[in-house]
Structure 1
């Protein structure tokens, strides 16, 4: 799971590089900014990364906000751990530096998906989940930005300590919004059986609910100062376990959807149909046959005209030469007999040739293939009739529906028009889904090739 990897990296930096972070925080801020910019550039300019591992686990740890959230988790728990606890001595002195680093890394996710949200808004995609997510994200940015600015030492020193502390309490709302944002996005996908999302919800719930429980416990013990801590510890354990269990039950898909994701998705596959038209190869073959027929007819007509002219000339010649000898007349009759035999032979030769049958590039039938998409397999099924694609269906196991929909609407009409997967323009912003559709269509056409 991506978040666990990111959490391991954040903890490693916090505990092993705490002194360099405290001594020279600018180096960490610049490094985080460079990684953020690189992630945004690669994502927004559709730079193709062939390795799915690199795409998901290296680029994804920034663009999906996993690393930024992991740093926020370390910052959160640094303030929730009991006083005197050993990790407190490591984390509290660098908590401000960790929060600034977390904010810089989070901007990678904000910019990447902020562009997508704006695009969806322009295209009219304003479902309930979209509205909730947009409001939550906007609130998060409005809270995170000023809190991050005030975390710099120079600005913090210029502010009143009590005022600064009161403003920083808005961080609790920010942490809650992070968790709500995750649930809004992940719970529907977990219910549909999408691989990995159920486990993600459990892990995020453990981190955020556990933080809330520990933070309340710390506040209670600091103010009430109970002699025995068994009761608050028991209450905290129940307060942690019950919500996590309820959310796990809510997110868990009771059916067997996850076992056969491609079959379920195939039932909901988008299908594109194309009007059957004569292909250029067939048109060329038919045109050639027609031209050949016209040429034959023209030749036959010319030969007939020549024949008529010759016969007329011979008749005139016979009238003018009435005084020829009997021997000459017999010779002329012999020549005329030979001449009259020629049309039969010419008629036989001039018989119109049979029209050639067009040679088709593809066999008729249905063909199906798959290729690698953004987050899983992409499937394409197409029907061919006389070198014409009459129908194309496409579906994905894991790709985001909105990205995949944009890719289909851009790529499939081109494939249908060209009857080929070569020279197809990918959809900007959905390059990997587009390439998956193109490659799957190419494999299907290779199966159909004669």
Structure 2
């Protein structure tokens, strides 16, 4: 996608600014030099605080060399289209100045990446990338110097034409370099890499087919062009389809780290679960004890009430008996004795009635099972408060030369899983950094860990992305 945007910018620049570039090239060369120096500084110093949009779609035009490649594509296609084409007549006069402008932009990309990637390629045995880049520079730098008008005028036309033919090797090595860099990314399923590679293939394979067709038309001058056009189209279709088949996606590139949960946290959670489970049993025991005590109290109270009622009845009967005895004082002795024998009956009745409440005790137990004992259960423990919400949260940060995206899974303030993808040009260094940094973050439960030596900026990008994900997961 980035290269497609660069193509649009380069084409518009060549069409609308080409005449000015041809007449006054110095300001454009100076601007290209400034942009190249800025690209080197960004790649080596990694300034912070730059918005993601600028990093991805503006600065990357210069750091990744897509704008330079697009300008080279315009230079190449200018020589591949027919002489009778009006576009060729407009672009051909400025072709030399545009090639110098493209070369200056390419130097910034080559210097910025070469400082870091040349040692990596040699260390990992990626000699093809190293050799292609070195040959590209060895061809481009002399051609750029000789393309300056004042120097070119000093050369004989035949010598200049012979030197200029080496540009075709340069044009061939540009797509070779692009394929070497992007082939693994596209095959691994990097987001956008396959589409970018298709655009590169369409541009450079199309140029090769059209340039060969133009050479054949110029050299052989066939009367009919239909057959030649069919052959050219078939050649383009076969080569383009072969590239598409070769870089077909095998699987999406998503490196996932294993779940790591600290032992201390697991132990704490287990203890809490055990305590919480034990609480209902303890409360249940208290409830049973309270119920039994309440039942015994009710029984005692009922017995005392009945005993009091019996005593009151006895006293009342005794008073009645005494009144009768006073009123019959003058009666005979047998009657008096009979009157005195009357109080013995209530006493006997009291003795007979006193055991009755004890016999009725089982009936009193029914109201004892009522729920008052439940009111004495302990209050439930308050729910724990967490700093982070549970779930999976996303975060992004700028790495070495592209954005790094992570997804962090959190459960009860514990980082349980981290997955990540990258937009960087070299995924192998991202994978190395991720395999080093992610386990450290999971073990320490913090994004502030040590960076991997040799992939410092990528490691810092992973930490920054995790930090951004944690910030989005904060409660409140």
Query: Does the alignment reach a TM-score above 0.5?
Result: yes
Q: Distance in 1 between matches of 2:59 and 2:24?
A: 26
Q: Distance in 1 between matches of 2:146 and 2:183?
A: 34
1:439 matched to 2:468:
yes
**Counterpart among 123, 126, 131 of residue 127 in structure 2:** 131
Instruction: State the partner residue of 1:201.
Output: 197
1:242 matched to 2:241:
no
Residues 417 and 140 from structure 1, CA distance in 2 versus in 1: closer, same or farther, beyond 3 angstroms? same
Residues 190 and 408 from structure 1, CA distance in 2 versus in 1: closer, same or farther, beyond 3 angstroms? closer
Q: C-alpha displacement at 1:143, in angstroms?
A: 1.1
SS at match of 1:371: strand
Residues 121 and 225 from structure 1, CA distance in 2 versus in 1: closer, same or farther, beyond 3 angstroms? closer
Q: Residues 171-182 of structure 1 correspond to what in structure 2 (within 5 A)?
A: 171-182=167-178
Q: Residues 159-170 of structure 1 correspond to what in structure 2 (within 5 A)?
A: 159-170=155-166
Instruction: State the partner residue of 1:314.
Output: none
Q: C-alpha displacement at 1:404, in angstroms?
A: 2.8
**Counterpart among 379, 383, 397 of residue 421 in structure 2:** 397
Instruction: State the partner residue of 1:348.
Output: none
Residues 249 and 425 from structure 1, CA distance in 2 versus in 1: closer, same or farther, beyond 3 angstroms? closer
Q: C-alpha displacement at 1:197, in angstroms?
A: 2.0
SS at match of 1:47: coil
**Counterpart among 141, 153, 156 of residue 145 in structure 1:** 141
Q: Distance in 2 between matches of 1:183 and 1:144?
A: 19
Residues 29 and 221 from structure 1, CA distance in 2 versus in 1: closer, same or farther, beyond 3 angstroms? same
| 1:328-349 CA-partner distances (Å, limit 9, x unpaired) | xxxxxxxxxxxxxxxxxxxxxx
Residues 52 and 132 from structure 1, CA distance in 2 versus in 1: closer, same or farther, beyond 3 angstroms? same
| 1:296-335 CA-partner distances (Å, limit 9, x unpaired) | xxxxxxxxxxxxxxxxxxxxxxxxxxxxxxxxxxxxxxxx
Residues 418 and 203 from structure 1, CA distance in 2 versus in 1: closer, same or farther, beyond 3 angstroms? closer
**Counterpart among 238, 252, 256 of residue 269 in structure 1:** 256
Larger gyration radius, structure 1 or structure 2? 2
Instruction: State the partner residue of 2:188.
Output: 192
Extract unaligned runs of 5+ from structure 1: 279-359
Q: C-alpha displacement at 1:394, in angstroms?
A: 3.6
Q: C-alpha displacement at 1:160, in angstroms?
A: 2.1
Could you tell me whether the CA contact under 8 Å between 2:257 and 2:439 is conserved in 1?
no
Instruction: State the partner residue of 1:224.
Output: 220
Q: Which moved more, 1:420-429 or 1:43-52?
A: 420-429
Instruction: State the partner residue of 2:326.
Output: none
SS at match of 1:377: strand
SS at match of 1:42: helix
Q: Distance in 1 between matches of 2:196 and 2:176?
A: 14
Extract unaligned runs of 5+ from structure 2: 266-383
Q: Residues 82-97 of structure 1 correspond to what in structure 2 (within 5 A)?
A: 82-97=82-97
1:56 matched to 2:56:
yes
Q: C-alpha displacement at 1:31, in angstroms?
A: 0.8
Residues 217 and 273 from structure 1, CA distance in 2 versus in 1: closer, same or farther, beyond 3 angstroms? same
Residues 241 and 392 from structure 1, CA distance in 2 versus in 1: closer, same or farther, beyond 3 angstroms? same
Q: Distance in 2 between matches of 1:116 and 1:209?
A: 30
Could you tell me whether the CA contact under 8 Å between 1:404 and 1:434 is conserved in 2?
no
Q: Residues 23-422 of structure 1 correspond to what in structure 2 (within 5 A)?
A: 23-121=23-121, 124-126=123-125, 130-253=126-249, 257=251, 261=252, 265=254, 268-271=255-258, 369-374=393-398, 375=403, 377-381=405-409, 393-400=417-424, 401-405=427-431, 407-408=433-434, 415=441, 419-421=445-447
SS at match of 1:227: coil
Q: Distance in 2 between matches of 1:163 and 1:394?
A: 60
Query: Could you state the TM-score of these two structures normalised by the residue count of structure 2?
Result: 0.65
Instruction: State the partner residue of 1:307.
Output: none
Q: Distance in 1 between matches of 2:182 and 2:438?
A: 29
Residues 432 and 167 from structure 1, CA distance in 2 versus in 1: closer, same or farther, beyond 3 angstroms? same
Q: Distance in 1 between matches of 2:388 and 2:467?
A: 20
Q: Distance in 1 between matches of 2:423 and 2:199?
A: 22
Could you tell me whether the CA contact under 8 Å between 1:78 and 1:92 is conserved in 2?
yes
Q: Distance in 2 between matches of 1:369 and 1:54?
A: 24
RMSD (Å), alpha carbons: 3.5
Query: Could you state the TM-score of these two structures normalised by the residue count of structure 1?
Result: 0.68
SS at match of 1:220: helix
